[in-house]
Amino acid sequence: MKKSLSFLFSLLVLIAPAFSQKSYKGLPVIKATAKVADYKIGKEFTKGTWHIMPEVSPDVLQVPVHKSREKVTFYTDRDSISFNVKARKSYQFYVNLNDTAYALTELKGFGFDALKFNENQTVAAYTLLYEENQDNTYLQTLRSQYNLDAVVAGAANDTEKALSMVNWVHKQWKHNGMNEPSQPDALTILAEAKEGQQFRCVEYGIVTTAALNAIGLPARTMGLKMKEVETIEFGAGHVLLEVYLPDLKKWVMLDGQFDVMPVLNNVPLNAVELQKAIADNYDKLEIRSLSGTSKAMYTNWVYPYLYYFDVKFDNREGVAFQRETVDGKSSLMLVPVGAKVPEVFQRKYKMDRYKHTNSIIDFYQAPSPMKGAEKVGISLK
């Protein structure tokens, strides 16, 4: 009898792995009871940022591949699965949530290629308007109510001011990608954050932009969109901001959601420069963050979004005025040379508010005062 029980136990041990390797529609399946999962790309572990969403099919995790392949392990609260991911290859599996819904999940490997833009044009075709902060009651209220001068007190230069401000905004609430404020302006967002509300990347961009404008640093909220912006159903865009630092005479990217400023060879970078640095100079690229945001985590996450770039023509601050346009369009989109001009956002939303350019000078001209607007096509109403 003991021999039979021992044999049965050994048999169960041998066949248990086979039972655990279940499949669904021809693909591997892992189980989960919690809706949040973790993953590890190479040596970089990312905890609690992946949401299991059966309604998104497939739900794609973009995997950066700096070498010939990268090991990726996906962890739920019940299970895990690993793949050796190659660039430009996709690997699919299902997450069975609570033994009912199946979430089709895809690991999509990508390599790194610097985008090309028109750098030969020397005269900008458009003038973008920026806040001059002269007797702006809205910004004065923001500056005094939240004591923004104290936020940047002790900063040795404009770079340090920008780092201090983006860190301050980053700490005002925790990210919630599904919640919106009652009104999309900095004072409303901060007031509702004080009441416990949490907001999206969009709101980090709006508040950091307004706070920098309030202390006299011209800033603009910026939209980023993936190459696949027309075909991806969810998560095809990200919002951050850029600030013009007078002491460096250049635009610099900041991301309030992650508390980030990219730097190469001790020079802060704009969003297009970050894209090129990730592709061509990753080892020397630095991600400055007073919160300690990981370079690998952030660059791996943001890189797919660094394809289309857009900003408003009119970046002035306030709530009681109509923003100016160019030929009825409110925003300028920077499109890589040879790339398709996108017409639809996430399969169903028309992208009809943009003028398009391939030119770096159009997008990264220094801030100009309002008085030059009529000469270059801003519609003044």
DSSP assigned state of 184: S
- Note the pLDDT of residue 66: 75
Number of structural domains in the chain: 2
Residue with tokens 């220094």: 366
Query: What tokens does 35 get?
Result: 């809706």
Residues 133 and 106 in one domain: no
What pLDDT digit, counting tens, does each position of 324-372 carry?
A: 999 999 999 999 999 999 999 999 999 999 999 999 999 999 997 554 3
Pairing verdict, β 314-315 and 129-130: parallel
- Note the pLDDT of residue 6: 53
- Note the pLDDT of residue 19: 45
Residues 57 and 176 in one domain: no
Q: Which of 223, 240, 224, 241 is nearest to 131 (CA)?
A: 241
Residues 40 and 176 in one domain: no
- Note the pLDDT of residue 62: 86
- Note the pLDDT of residue 17: 41
Query: Does residue 183 sit within a domain?
Result: yes
Residues 85 and 177 in one domain: no
Which residues touch 3 (CB under 8 Å, ≥6 apart)?
Answer: none
- Note the pLDDT of residue 110: 82
Residues 35 and 133 in one domain: no
- Phi then psi for residue 29, to 5 deg, are -130, 135
Residues 292 and 167 in one domain: yes
What pLDDT digit, counting tens, does each position of 61-95 carry?
A: 989 887 789 999 999 999 999 999 999 999 999 99
pLDDT along the chain (381 residues), means of 10: 49 43 90 96 89 96 86 96 95 96 95 94 95 92 98 98 98 96 97 97 98 98 97 95 97 98 98 96 95 93 96 93 94 98 95 97 86 40 30
Q: Residue 81: which domain range?
A: 22-110
Residues 94 and 146 in one domain: no
- Identify any residues that bridge with 33 across adjacent strands, giving them in sequence order: none
Residues 167 and 243 in one domain: yes
The side-by-side arrangement of strands in the sheet containing 80-85 is 44-51, 36-41, 70-75, 80-85
Asked if 138 and 187 count as a contact pair (C-beta separation under 8 A), the reply is yes
Residues 54 and 134 in one domain: no
Asked if 180 and 200 count as a contact pair (C-beta separation under 8 A), the reply is yes
